[in-house]
Amino acid sequence: MFGSLKDKLRGVKDKLGLSIESAAEAAPEEPLPVEMEESPAPVPAEGPGEEAPAPEQKTAKKKSTLAERVRVLVTEREVMLDEKDVAEPLQDLEIVLLENDVALPVADAIVEHIRSDLVGRRRKIGASVDTLVMDTLKGALLNVLGEGFSLTGYIDSHERPVKVLFTGVNGTGKTTSIAKIASYLKKQGYSVVIGSGDTFRAGANEQMKTHADRVGVKVIRHQEGADPSAVLFDAVQYATAHNIDVVLADTAGRFHNRANLMNQLEKIRRVMKPDLVVYVDEAVAGNDAVIRAEEFNNAVGTDAVVLTKADMDPRGGAAISIAHTIGKPVMFLGVGQSYDDVVPFRPEDVVDELLREED
């Protein structure tokens, strides 16, 4: 993931660093601060048992002070950057972000964060500008990625069973993602039951039962065509009666503009009363995933997002854009075909991966 974006960000980092370095070198040099020797104060006559300070001690102290100041000036400089100093690399950065499926408002937010962090402020830089550039880029990316979402942290701090309702469009890997998250939670020591609320799609019940058997969790299901609200109500009742920690509720894939299916989803919410509503989409869908997530959030609400097929997405624009666009955190990334191939989305880890230099 992020292969294309990482490669191009490296070029932007280098260009931004060169621009800052050039601005620092072009800045007028400040005179070296030298401690001026003051006129000696009258020395009182030496009394019995008193000794005057040795001249060499005064000289040593003065030389030490001067050396320290020179060392500071050699290793640390100050620069005041103008808009023109960073205009070209920031323009390149915006193009790179857009080419890698980062939504326009998100690309603008990243560029503006960097601009406001650098322009018109006196910044100290060391012998290299790398640290300044990295810190600035990191801050801008973390600003749009948000804080992430820990499902285990949420479970630990809320009354059980914690009820999680999964929504999304057709064919984005929602059912498989639920099985992966069930496996993940089970390995973290939580008990899980799955509610097979997709009673619309032929074979959905059998698919979910197969997944549940493989990861070793109970699944509650009714016959095909049954009321999904009733299925998920029963799943919650089972979890409550058996002291289960988490209910993971599947629903039929649907588009936001299908009024009957969206009304059905509203009924599910009223009956099940989920603690969390999680939207699932494909990372490879890029801006389409961002747009759909926003539409679902507007229609039925969203608390967190799961992105599937992240391992197949060299750009990573959806992962960077969704949290900022809908104001909701990404919770998990699907990164492969096995049940273990789901990872919690941690913004710090994502940014470190994006900015990491190859060995």
Domain that holds residue 177: 151-355
Closest CA to 86 of 179, 39, 24: 24
Residues 167 and 138 in one domain: no
Q: What pLDDT score was predicted for residue 31?
A: 47
Which band of pLDDT confidence, cut at 50, 70 and 90, is reported for residue 133? Answer: confident
**267 part of a folded domain:** yes
Bridge partners (DSSP) of residue 122 are 80
- Across residues 173-190, what is the average pLDDT? 96
The residue from 145, 175, 209 where one domain ends is: 145
Residues in contact with 355: Cβ distance below 8 Å, sequence separation at least 6, in sequence order: 9, 13, 134, 137, 138, 141
State the pTM of this model.
Answer: 0.80
Domains identified in the chain, total number = 2
The CATH number linked to 252 is 3.40.50.300
In a domain, 94, yes or no: yes
Residues 68 and 104 in one domain: yes
pLDDT of residue 22: 84
Question: What percentage of residues in the chain have a pLDDT greater than 70?
Answer: 82
Q: Domain boundary at 145, 175, 208, which?
A: 145
What residue type is assigned to position 264 of the chain?
Q
pLDDT in tens, 184-230: 999 999 999 999 998 888 788 999 999 999 999 999 999 888 999 99
Half-sphere exposure of 272 (CA within 13 A, CB side): 35
